[in-house]
Structures are given as structure tokens and as C-alpha cells.
Amino acid sequence: MTFSVQETLFSLLRLNGISGHESSIANVMQHAFEQQAKDVWRDRLGNVVARYGSDKSDALRLMIFAHMDEVGFMVRKIEPSGFLRFERVGGPAQITMPGSIVTLAGRSGDIMGCIGIKAYHFAKGDERTQPPALDKLWIDIGAKDKADAERMGIQVGTPVTLYNPPHCLGNDLVCSKALDDRLGCTALLGVAEALASTPLDIAVFLVASVQEEFNIRGIIPVLRRVRPDLAIGIDITPSCDTPDLQDYSDVRVNHGVGITCLNYHGRGTLAGLITPPRLLRMLETTAHENNIPVQREVAPGVITETGYIQVELDGIPCASLSIPCRYTHSPAEVASLRDLDDCIRLLTALANMSPEQFPIEPETGATQEARP
């Protein structure tokens, strides 16, 4: 069957899975991998791994990964009135919460709800322009009281996701919740399809990871088992082509996949990635040779699993490919199918390279510090 980027992406976007509750996405990823891969497994945390290419024990190991989870919420308390208090899981944009439609994973199936907002007619002063604090918000599922909410299948700990089914916009753009990072998951499946019948000189491990939006470390058990020589992550990055961000950077939708030079998050996590120059050259050279458009990015405020993977084991060289995305962590993220296709083509080209083309070891020379 011919792989369709849009159909695959939309099927993944229609699934719900906050951090720690990724099973519906994991089931789809595992089933798809099992159609072609030599070896597929799911670990105890829920990460899904598929191996392609060389079976040799000494083959170079390339790990390509993307996370399955999305930002969302979890029910913290059921009020006597039947309204639900909640906490954030990950970092959904709080400014977009009031008035949002949400889906709750009840015990017997999904339940629709909305995040309440004070009637505009009665709002005064800042209430009309400023979003309430998180502890002032609630979810309305239409329950008469607490007992009714419980009968509907709600309990403390019920997962809640943003609701916005995928839509097509103009110029190959799509709008949906959870493009972060179902775009990356779609890229994994596109690469899997391309590698299914291709002999490779290296071993390629495709990993659909868990809990990136929560603790950024759900993938760690996988790399300790796989022990990759090189890791490449796929995630979104803020697109700066909207009126509010045009002075920040030149990253834009429909202009190719982003190659991260630096990302960094300094609020509690204190981690990030400075991509080794030798890997930047490898990515840009491969893209140029295959006529794939790319754009460099420096992205403070952004962090992915590479921030932690790079310091595991004996040190794992890491790079990040980013798909530009507008309105990140909102119910209406916007990204380009063209950029997604470019990402798949670049990853496929990398997987088809010979081991000698991967610059695993540090560069030597006058600027290279001597090893102790």
C-alpha cells in the first residue's frame, strides 16, 4: 500500500494520549512497524522500538526517535457541583484554555467537556482580557453533581486532552491539536515504509517514545538497551512567520525541515543541545545532495530528549530535526505537509548512508581539547 503522509498524520492526530497514557498511539505505531521490521518490541514504560537494516553485531547503530505523547490535563478534584478541577500535564498554553473543548478518557469511553469561562456580560476589568490562574479554572461535562460525574466515568486522575480534529488549510498546511509530536511519529512511519525493502549497511532503530512532554526522559531505557552510536530526534519547533514572531528568527513553514544548532530550556530543566558541528555538516550535506530544503535554527525555550541522551552511556552524538509549527502547545497548531515530507526524505537518505559517512568520533585538530 502506498504511504500517504496526510492520511497517516490525520489518523494519528485523531488519537488521544497525554504523557503516561500513550497506549492508543503506541498500538498503532507497533502494528505499523510489525508489518516490515525485523524486530519490534515495546518496553515497560511503553516506548515502541523497531529495528531495520543490518543484523551484524558490530554494525553502526543509528537511533531515530519521536515522542507519542501530547500536552493535556488530568482531573485533580471533582467538586460537589460536578465541575472538575484539573492540573496541566506538560505545558499546554494556559492563555488558550478558557472556552476550549476537551476530551476526557472516562472509564467507559470518551466524554466531551469544556473549560469554563466567566460570562463576558458579567466580567469586569482584567477578567475580560487576562486568562484566570489555573486553580480558578474548571471543566464542565454537564454533570448534575459529583455522583453524576462519577457515574459518567470520571475519577481523580482521568486524562484530559485538547479537542480539535485535523483540518486542511491552504498551501499544504494543516491545523490540529497534537501536531507536537504526531508529525514526528508520522515521519517515523514514513521512514519505516521506505526502509522496509531496502538493504542497509547500518542498523536503524526507530523509536516512538513516551513522556517527553512530562519529564523528557521516557526514552532513556531504550537507549540503554539499544546503545546507539548516533541519535537523531524529530520534533516541532516554533515557526516565526506570524506577525508576533517575525523579528525573532527566520524559521518558517513550507521552507523545509529545521536543523537545530542550539536549543535550551533554563526554567527548572536546565538542559539543551548544542549540535556538534560535524553533525550539522553531515545533515546539511546530505540535504543538499538530495535537493531537500533545510533551515538552521537556534531555539532557546525549546528542549527535547536529546538534552539528556547526549550525556548517557559513553556520550551519544545527537542531532535534532525540527518541523516548523505555528501556535505551539495550543489546540490549533499549524504545520506544513511539505516540511513533513522533507523530513521523511532526509531521514531516509541518512539511513541509506554507509557507516563511514557518519562522523561519530570528535574532530581532532588545534581547536580540539586533548583527552585526559
Q: What whole-number distance in Å separates Cα of residue 186 and Cα of residue 198?
A: 19
Supply 364's cell numbers. Answer: 581532532
Q: What whole-number distance in Å separates Cα of residue 163 and Cα of residue 250?
A: 30
Flag whether 265 is marked binding.
Answer: no
Angstrom distances, CA of residue 181 to CA of 20, 126, 256? 15, 34, 17
Flag whether 67 is marked binding.
Answer: yes
> One of 22, 193, 212, 333 is an active-site residue; which one?
212
Q: What whole-number distance in Å separates Cα of residue 204 and Cα of residue 55?
A: 10
Q: What sign results for the dihedral spanned by CA atoms 12, 178, 22, 350?
A: positive
Stated length of the chain = 372
* Residue matched to cell numbers 536543523: 259
212 catalytic, yes or no?
yes
Angstrom distances, CA of residue 367 to CA of 17, 262, 278? 46, 20, 14
Peptide bond into 110 cis (omega under 30): no
Contact 196, 110 (CB under 8 A): no
Flag whether 31 is marked binding.
Answer: no
Please tell me what DSSP assigns to residue 111: E
Flag whether 329 is marked binding.
Answer: yes
String of DSSP letters for 9-63: HHHHHTS--BTT--HHHHHHHHHHHHTT-SEEEE-TT--EEEEEE---TTS-EEE
Q: What whole-number distance in Å separates Cα of residue 94 and Cα of residue 132?
A: 9
- SS3 string, 238-290, reads ECCCCCCCCCCCCCCCCCCEEEEEEEEECCCCCEEEECCHHHHHHHHHHHHHC
* Residue matched to cell numbers 541519535: 231
Point out which residues pair with 174 in neighbouring strands.
168, 335
Flag whether 213 is marked binding.
Answer: yes
Task: Give binding residues as ranges.
Answer: 67, 180, 213, 235, 329
Annotated binding site for Zn(2+): 67, 180, 213, 235, 329
List residues with catalytic annotation.
Answer: 212
